[in-house]
Amino acid sequence: MSENPAPAPAAMPAISGDAELRETVRFRYAAAAVQVAEGGSACCGPSAIEIDASFGAGLYADADRGELPAEAVAASLGCGNPTAVADLNEGDRVLDLGSGGGIDVLLSARRVGPAGKAYGLDMTEEMLALALANAAKAGAGNVEFLKGAIEAIPLPAGTIDVVISNCVINLSTDKPAVFAETFRVLVPGGRIGVLDVVADDALTPAQRAERGDYVGCIAGALSFTEYRQGLAAAGFTDITITATHQVADGMHSAIIKAVKPTDAHSMPPLMQAETGCCGATAADKASGCC
């Protein structure tokens, strides 16, 4: 593991549409990683350096924060503590979608113990560099950080027991792909325990955008019904969505839990017809598992 500081983020190119949103998210979090590496702090709230009651490290218990390097705590960008709601067990294999500076990966690694493993997935090189440095400082041997998109998880099917995420899925421009990929990598009986921003059903996408921008974790949020329907379409059952606190008018941090049925295949039925190579997805093929 390297303790090299995060590199400065590259300038954001001029692009459009979903690609522009994605690059805006990448650039903003790359800059946050650099800021933390240089001794500052970062947050998913209205200001890039402020931590308030709705987002950031203040949502973790003092005991959890005290276990970790200061840089991992300072880089907390989420809307809660997924490791407190994901029911992690000794020996579990955990995947954190959008792992940032590594706070939830490191906490998960402690909970699953030496027999388990915690993976972090992030698309931002600067955050990955910061996470690797934090893991080295924490002496965590059962962690691995992967570069990639949460819409195309670079892990084989059926290899993860628990998927967690902290205020990241709302940032994706292809949430059905995130749900389908999450379902794919989970073992039958595997589960998700994520925190995300969720909108009241009465709010239109335009009204959500009025309450905050996309990179600020507001404009891209799904409604309660949309979230439930998206998970069900991917094949999940036992879906619960529980609001914890309000982050804007009609917008809430919420705990989302769901289970992959024990008799489920690696992919939901709608995806199986679209894949080949012994039923593997593109991510499986890239990993060489087929």
**Segment 246-267 mean pLDDT:** 89
Give the pLDDT of residue 13: 34
% the chain with pLDDT above 70 = 64
Higher pLDDT, 48 or 194: 194
Give the pLDDT of residue 264: 79
Strand segments (E) across the chain: 93-97, 117-122, 143-147, 160-166, 186-199, 222-223, 237-248, 251-259
- pLDDT, one tens digit per residue, over 180-233 is 999 999 999 999 999 999 999 999 999 999 988 777 778 889 999 999 999 999
Give the pLDDT of residue 38: 58
Could you give phi then psi for residue 184, rounded to 5 degrees?
A: -60, -45
The distance from CA 206 to its chain's CA centroid, rounded to whole angstroms, is: 24
Higher pLDDT, 38 or 252: 252
pTM of the model: 0.74
| Whether the predicted pLDDT of 265 surpasses 90 | no
Higher pLDDT, 109 or 60: 109
